[in-house]
Structure 1
Amino acid sequence: MRGILSIQSHVTYGHAGNSSAVFPMQRMGFEVWPIHTVQFSNHTQYKQGWTGRAFSASDIDELVQGLDNIGALTRCGAILTGYQGSAEQCEAVVRTVEKVKDQNPSSLYICDPVMGAPDKGCIVAPGITEHLVNDLMPIADVIVPNQFELSQFAQMEINTLSDAVTACNIALAKGPKVVLVKHLYCISDDKFSMMLATQDGCFLAQRPQLPFEQQPVGVGDLISAVFTAGLLKGDSPMDAFQHCHDACYGVLKQTHQQNEWELQTVLAQNELVEPSETFAVEMIDAQLMTA
């Protein structure tokens, strides 16, 4: 059985980072080996605050070396990275990707480039954005940015669908083979939009925007995880995108129905394998591809 090495944050309570990503990938049939970049009591948007700490880059190196010692890296089918707690951790991720691909050249590296969003309570340490843009995203097979993170990588503003297509094409030219924009928020207020870009074209999926009083945290981590598991199952990027879009909506709908803030991933776990609703994925007009 191929495993997934997941290097990102962890919360003891709720679902963010590895706490949002590990179970969905397990539910979809994979062994998951989590390495935590930080461990907090809860996510950082609670007004009461949080407790916990970041780990050192050497902690990542030591754990990866331990996995290498027992031969696990040869069975690593994918490395998934999310929130990094320091610039040094980003450097450890680069070393990890190199080590895993040396042991298993067919392994995938999926980079969810979590950057600072102070308005959402997400703060990243100095140097992280630069490392993501210059070091991690270019070596990834797949990147899963939101609109802002894509704009930083493509070095352009994104205000329209045409802009998003152009930015995705720039991103593909920098190394990744697949770009999944986990939230494209410039084109609709009443629909949640996601975009997939490959050499075959750009595709758009939209679903209803559920009216949460407080937007759940960890949705991007869930999207990255479900898409990763889909690819590792052997699905095409298009099929993995379709499944990911529908499955994540199912989890969010269950969360909304329960009037909860924390994702109800366990309660909605069947949505991860058999989504109850499906939404059309449409190819974006070819004229926009060259806009």
Structure 2
Amino acid sequence: MNNVLSIQSHVVFGHAGNSAAVFPMRRLGVNVWPLNTVQFSNHTQYGRWTGSAFDADELQNVIEGIGAIGVLARCNAVLSGYLGAPEQGRAVVEIVKMVKAVNPRALFFCDPVMGQTSGCTVAPGIEDFLVTTMPEIADALMPNHVELEKLVGRTIETVEEAVDACREVLGRGPRIVLVKHLLDRNSRADTFNMLAVSPTESWFAQRPLYPFARQPVGVGDLTSGVFVARTLLGDSLRDALEHTLAAVNAVVKATYEAGRYELEIVASQDEIAKPTDRFPAIRVTGTETTRRR
């Protein structure tokens, strides 16, 4: 069985960070070792919360403890998300080195949470650390649209421009860039776009964008978790993208239909494993696209 060390935030109430990613990965058949960067009462977009970030040294000490009992080599992937302080970012880099020292085939998936969303708060210095350091360390980067723009330092308005930006990021080290939410001026306003790019492939896919009065939080964390799991389970880039989009759509659709703010992850668990609705990816090659057959 695959094992993922998931280094993210934790909220006691609701779904964000590890609270959004761990259960879906386990439901898909991937074991997860959660390591929490913060413990908050709830996610920050409520406008008020309690809790605190964990000390960076404490994060490393926990992993050293796993190494001391001789099981760290069983870790197949590290997934990082929300960081409570820049020092935690440096701790993540050291943890990835520790894992790869005992399992060189382990992969590092980085979700570069930069706090650009209204109400999402990250500490000063984190954005700069993610932009300047993580592309050289990560095997896969999973930004949203604004985070991709920050990674390349320019505005992106089309799918083709996004592919170019992803290839630029790939040139710094990663094998995969997954754009979890891509804004495209040529797409309909009622669609939600995703893009997955490797050195040899680029796939674009869309699902419905549901008209929430207040968009739920944790969709990106859910997306990253499902994508990591499907990749470890052997999916191709295209298949991992399609399953991820379909599974996340099922959760978001159920949340919208239930009139909820927090994601209906547990209620949608069977759909996470075997989504009913599927959304075919389109292969993007330069300025031309070819629909999958």
**TM-score computed with the length of structure 2 as normaliser:** 0.95
Distance in 2 between residues matched to 1:288 and 1:151, nearest whole Å: 22
The 8 Å contact of residues 197 and 203 in structure 1, kept in 2 or not, is answered as yes
- Identity of matched residues, %: 48
Instruction: Give the letter aligned to residue 55 of structure 2.
Output: S
Question: What's the offset of the Cα at 1:180?
Answer: 0.5
Aligned ranges for residues 217-256 of structure 1 at < 5 Å? 217-256=217-256
The answer on whether the counterparts of 2:63 and 2:95 sit within 8 Å (CA) in structure 1 is yes
Runs of 4 or more, structure 1, over 3 Å off, are none
User: How much does 1:164 deviate?
Assistant: 0.8
Q: Which amino acid in structure 2 is aligned with residue 26 of structure 1? A: R
> Greater CA deviation, 88-97 or 198-207?
198-207
Deviation of 1:281 after TM superposition, in Å, equals 0.3
Conserved 8 A contact 2:204-2:281: yes
Question: Is the contact between residue 94 and residue 135 of structure 1 (CA under 8 Å) also seen in structure 2?
Answer: no
Q: Secondary structure at the match of 2:44?
A: coil
CA drift at 1:288? 6.1
Structure 1 position 138, deviation (Å) = 1.9
SS state at 2:64 partner: helix
**Alignment pair present for 1:206 and 2:206:** yes
Q: Does 1:110 align with 2:123?
A: no
What's the counterpart of residue 85 of structure 1? 84
- Report the 3-state secondary structure (helix = DSSP H, G, I; strand = E; otherwise coil) of the residue aligned with 2:76: strand
Pick the aligned partner of 1:156 from 154, 171, 177: 154
Match runs of 1:1-291 below 5 Å: 1-47=1-47, 49-117=48-116, 119-187=117-185, 188=187, 189-287=189-287
Letter paired with 1:102: A
Structure 2 gap ranges (5+) = none
Instruction: Tell me if the contact between 1:113 and 1:137 (Cα under 8 Å) persists in the aligned partners.
Output: no
**Do 2:44 and 2:121's aligned partners in 1 also have CA atoms closer than 8 Å?**
no
Give me the whole-angstrom Cα distance separating, in 1, the residues matched to 2:51 and 2:108.
28
- In structure 2, how many angstroms separate the alpha carbons of the residues matched to 1:73 and 1:139? 19
Q: Which moved more, 1:156-165 or 1:247-256?
A: 156-165
Provide the rounded CA distance (Å) in 2 between the counterparts of 1:255 and 1:233: 27
Given that residues 158 and 183 in structure 2 are in contact (C-alpha distance below 8 angstroms), is that contact kept between their aligned partners in structure 1? no
Q: Residue 229 of structure 1: CA displacement?
A: 0.3
C-alpha RMSD of the superposition: 1.3
Partner SS, residue 182 of structure 1: strand
Q: Secondary structure of 1:215's partner?
A: coil
In structure 2, C-alpha distance between the alignment counterparts of 1:131 and 1:64, rounded to whole Å: 22
Structure 1 unaligned spans of 5+: none
